[in-house]
A and B are shown apart, each in its own frame.
Chain A
Amino acid sequence: MTSLLMMLAAAGTSTEATFWMPEGASTVAPDVDGLFDFINLICYIFFALVVAALIWFAIRYRQRKGQHTFEGGPTHNMALEITWTAIPTVIVVVMFILGLQTFLDLRTSPGNAYDINVTAQKWSWTFQHPEFAVTEAAELTVPANRPVRLLMGSQDVLHSLFVPAFRVKQDVVPGRYTSLWFEATQPGTYQLYCTEYCGKDHSLMLATVHVLEWDEFQAKMGKLAREYEEIPESQLPSYALTRLYNRCASCHTLDGSSSTGPSFKGLWERTAEGTTVFTDGSTLADLQKPGGVYDIPENYIRASLVNPQAHIVQGYTGAMPSFQGQLKERQIDALVLMIKHLDKLVDDQGNILENPDLGSETPQEGAADDNG
């Protein structure tokens, strides 16, 4: 039976779309397609037998005109009944074992995987490449011929990430991480769907997967990483809010409500005035005295990003990971500026304003201070 499957699988290495399956572009696609074809074959045989018998009996044994009495006929046949119970049992056991093998392949990610962090929220996908400190929205760029592992979390309701061409799918669950891996084999462009119903624009929660050869991939990542370098200074706070904040949003709100971490609303004021209280009872003001580590407020914000465990704010558990190495210097500048000018970027409810008025105070000053 296994050799039959191997044969079918081998026949299915072509990545062309078939009547049943879309084009296959990952290492597991031929296995999944082979298994699908094997089950299909079993189904065709059983279906043909059942329907042939059904039609044959219906025609051959139809009630003819004037046939008004009937034969008794046999009521059971133990040998026959045991046979037709046993044969399907053997077949489904084989099917289970083959399905199990493919499933374990689908779920066991190889060691050298390229990691991508995925954030799902109504109704968009954000993909973050820690290796390049690049964040993409609605587009996922992955290298070909290298295992890719997605570590996924949701900020609101259930979502599910599905790429038909890779034959992979995994629910994204709020409150925990789930993961998924694949190895794309064919450079190209593929569709990514959300397949767990999530409300109004569920059907628009799409993304495009771009598979590139490794050197092209690196070049594109480098270009995306430099994107920040080319942004004018005055645009930095807005950029941080729209392109970087989504990674903070699961813990830090913009409307003042408490979450896993303190809200960004009013953070700048609390920092500047030194009113923040830490778990050991000391206040930020103690550290801001002349000669203290945080003589200027920007340095405290910056330190919180690269070394968040140094000082934990009272009432929180210190769940934040360090972003050292994940954020470029200029992105840290952007985040600091975003927090500093947050009251001009969002309204009281934490909604992002379309055209923020940053006023007369130009953001460059802050950035200059920080870098100084």
Chain B
Amino acid sequence: MTTVDTRGPAPVLDNYLTHSRGLRSWLLTLDHKRIGLMYLVSVLGAFFLGGMFALLVRTQLLTPEGLIMDGDQYNQAFTLHGAIMVFLVIIPSVPAALGNFVLPIMLGAKDVAFPRLNLFSYWLWIVGAIFFVLSLFTGGLDTGWTFYTPYSVDQGSAMAGVIPALTGAFILGFSSIFTGMNFIVTIHRLRPPGMTWFRMPLFLWAIYATAIIQVLATPVLGITLALLIVERAFGIGIFNPVLGGDPVLYQHFFWFYSHPAVYIMILPAMGIISDLIAVHSHRHIFGYGFIAWSSIAIAIFSFLVWGHHMFTSGQSELVTVVFSLITFSVAIPSAVKVFNWLATMYKGTISWNTPMLYGMGFIFIFTIGGLTGLHLGTLGTDIHLHDTYFVVAHFHYVMMGSALIAFIGGIHHWWPKMTGRMYNENWGRFAFALVFIGFNLTFFSQFMLGSQGMPRRYASYVGLQQDVFQPYHIASTIGSYVLALGFFITAGYLIQSLIGGRRASANPWGGRSLEWQCTSPPPHDNFSEAPTVGDCYDFSVLRWDEQEQGYVWREDVPHPQQEEVEAT
């Protein structure tokens, strides 16, 4: 792109970006859009840091002996990669960053119910993140993101960064709880007239289901981490068998939160995809009710399956069998969603732009991630696959390939709304291709590694099977470099669009949910006039307007607002 194209509608002078100026007006803002944007920047910063650790881990594993780090360094690298990506990136990515920006506008509200609490959540997040970074400087952290006892309380081996990291995770947990509470109250109490529960865009259903999990599960993580901090600081043994505690109890507590946390990560992603697929296929979402209820069903089931992380832990066999059975029940609503998305595309008008490519990439990757969950939910095969790279590959397909890909897709989808600028589509498609190929190369190799027997969290793999493992590791590492390149290019063209991007119209994709009814970027109070709530998936009333460079209401279809005016 050589010339700067600024065609399109003239910018609206007073929008949320220009409403007030100065650093203070950002850091202490109560505007959900600015808070969402600050989350976005912070989360992407953490994503960069976590990604760097991932590249270190991958580079180490190019050779069986380990290329660049010793055991302790490697253990810190994978621990920080996991802890940062889980607690600082994926969990807040969609709900806190995109959710904060989009939720009130989609709902037709002026802001979330408690704007001050919202700002407080953001700053709690920052404090939690600082504790995490602190753990790097106070002696490192090598427990894995799961903080399994008794290793994490063993003064001899675990490092001095454990307490700061636990404190950080504890604080981040409360940030997440307050965000969840805020969203639940907002959705219950701030729906404008006309916005009934079953007129809400599916993204809101997903965020709502997520918020329920955040509110119910995160306190248990909080108390578990607090007990661990007490245990480590004062040398008592609630989870330490040497002092009369029970290490498997810790695992139960940890997974009671952390399994639902997986759905904190994937449910909002599914919500984004539901909206993305419908908007960019320009076709009414298929089976709205099924998708909405399946979000709630997943949220409920998610509390009943934690034991499937512990099939080999020594828990009783009956418990193991029951958990396996319930685990399969989660597979059904997930499968139903995939079929609904495909049915939405059927006979649609599918535009091959970047957000839709991410949407289709999501379906491809999530299908693999979901199906390989079957190998792990089945008891007989899980015994062999547990704690191998098969598990690593599976949860990267779900957490990274699905949750983060949807997040990136969502950023592209709402980028014109957030910034008022269009990015370069060709670069977008090219970067998507790199991300998609890089991702699959990195993580598909790991399925074979795992089923062949490569254990996870290994700094080296010298042994009888090293010749089997090495080619897969090399492929995986090359894939990770391609993936990283894709992300760097994405960062490049998105930043470029802020400076030289074409101005975005109010509705560049043809969406019907309320955020596409306000200007891009939205005004400070979201809507200059009360928006009209209709069927947010009925795209037949829109048409492309060349001059506007966006979609407008069809002249031959009566506009509900005009009807009202005529009626009065």
Contact = CB atoms under 8 A, between A and B. Distances in A.
Query: Does A touch B (CB under 8 Å) in the complex?
Result: yes
A168 B383 contact: yes
A171 interface: yes
Interface stretch (A65-73, A224-232, A340-348): A65-73
B453 interface: yes
Contacts of A200: 71-72, 75, 142, 157
Interface string B53-66: 00000000000000
A57 B383 contact: no
B383 A167 contact: yes
Nearest to A92: B328
Interface in B153-187: 154, 157-158
B29 to A, nearest CB: 38
Interface stretch (A81-89, A274-282, A361-369): A81-89
Contact of A89 (B72, B332, B554): B332
B335 interface: yes
Contacts of A92: 328-329, 331-332, 374, 377
Nearest to A196: B387
A95 interface: yes
A61 B349 contact: yes
Interface in A102-147: 102-107, 122
Contacts of B347: 61, 71, 73
A61 B371 contact: no
A318 B74 CA distance: 43
A21 B349 contact: no
A67 B313 CA distance: 58
A58 B360 contact: yes
A197 B144 contact: yes
Interface string B522-543: 0000000000000001111011
Interface string A187-210: 001110111111111111010100
Nearest to B144: A197
A347 to B, nearest CB: 17
B393 to A, nearest CB: 12
B235 to A, nearest CB: 14
A63 B349 contact: yes
A51 B352 CA distance: 16
Nearest to B286: A76
B549 interface: no
A202 B543 contact: no
A218 to B, nearest CB: 25
B286 A50 contact: no
B324 A199 contact: no
A22 B543 CA distance: 57
B95 to A, nearest CB: 27
A262 interface: no
Nearest to B313: A171
Contact of A195 (B314, B452, B456, B468): B456
Nearest to A172: B314
A169 B282 CA distance: 50
Interface stretch (B97-105, B224-232, B458-466): B458-466
Nearest to A72: B540
A22 B386 contact: no
A175 B457 CA distance: 24
Contacts of A98: 378, 380
Contact of A63 (B154, B320, B350, B542): B350
A202 B339 CA distance: 42
Contacts of B452: 17, 20-22, 164
B380 A99 contact: yes
B289 interface: yes
A17 B468 CA distance: 10
Contacts of A201: 71
B248 interface: yes
Contacts of B287: 75-77, 81
Interface residues of A, number: 90
A75 B345 CA distance: 12
Interface stretch (A28-36, A239-247, A286-294, A323-331): A28-36
A22 B453 contact: yes
B371 A47 contact: yes
Contacts of A99: 324, 377-382
A202 B459 CA distance: 8
Interface string A160-180: 101011011111011110100
B380 A103 contact: yes
B538 A193 contact: no
Contacts of B158: 199
Contacts, number: 292
Interface stretch (B125-133, B362-370, B490-498): B362-370
Contacts of B148: 157-158, 196-197
B45 interface: no
B118 interface: no
B561 interface: no
B453 A164 contact: yes
A70 B242 contact: no
A101 interface: yes
B216 interface: no
Contacts of A93: 328
Given A50-B338, A103-B380, A36 B374 contact: no
Nearest to B380: A102
B342 interface: yes
A73 B283 contact: yes
A319 interface: no
B247 interface: yes
B312 A173 contact: no
A63 B539 CA distance: 14
Contacts of A359: none
B453 A76 contact: no
Contacts of B142: 199-200
Contacts of A21: 451-452
Nearest to B71: A200
A286 B379 CA distance: 59
A362 B442 CA distance: 62
B543 A174 contact: no
Nearest to B463: A191
A154 to B, nearest CB: 9
A100 interface: yes
Given A36-B381, A92-B332, A197-B151, A160 B312 contact: yes
Interface stretch (A38-46, A295-303, A308-316): A38-46
A74 interface: yes
A202 B458 contact: yes
A169 to B, nearest CB: 5
Contacts of A203: 71, 455, 457-461
B241 A176 contact: yes
Nearest to B70: A200
B290 interface: yes
B332 A58 contact: no
B513 to A, nearest CB: 16
29 contacts: A17-B468, A39-B375, A43-B375, A53-B346, A54-B363, A62-B351, A63-B282, A67-B349, A69-B540, A69-B543, A74-B286, A75-B285, A75-B287, A88-B335, A93-B328, A102-B381, A103-B324, A165-B453, A169-B312, A170-B312, A171-B312, A176-B314, A178-B314, A191-B463, A199-B151, A199-B157, A199-B158, A201-B71, A204-B462
Interface of A: 17, 19-22, 31-32, 35-36, 39-40, 42-43, 46-47, 50-51, 53-54, 57-58, 61-63, 67-77, 80-81, 84-85, 88-89, 92-93, 95-96, 98-107, 122, 156-158, 160, 162, 164-165, 167-171, 173-176, 178, 189-191, 193-204, 206, 208
The 4 closest A-B pairs by CB, nearest first: A175-B241, A102-B380, A164-B453, A99-B378
Interface of B: 71-72, 75, 142, 144, 148, 150-151, 154, 157-158, 241-242, 246-248, 281-290, 312-314, 317, 320-321, 324-325, 328-329, 331-332, 335-336, 338-340, 342-343, 345-352, 360, 363-364, 367-368, 371-372, 374-375, 377-384, 386-388, 448, 451-453, 455-465, 468, 510, 537-540, 542-544, 554
Given A169-B384, A173-B247, 5 more contacts: A32-B381, A47-B371, A75-B537, A162-B453, A189-B464
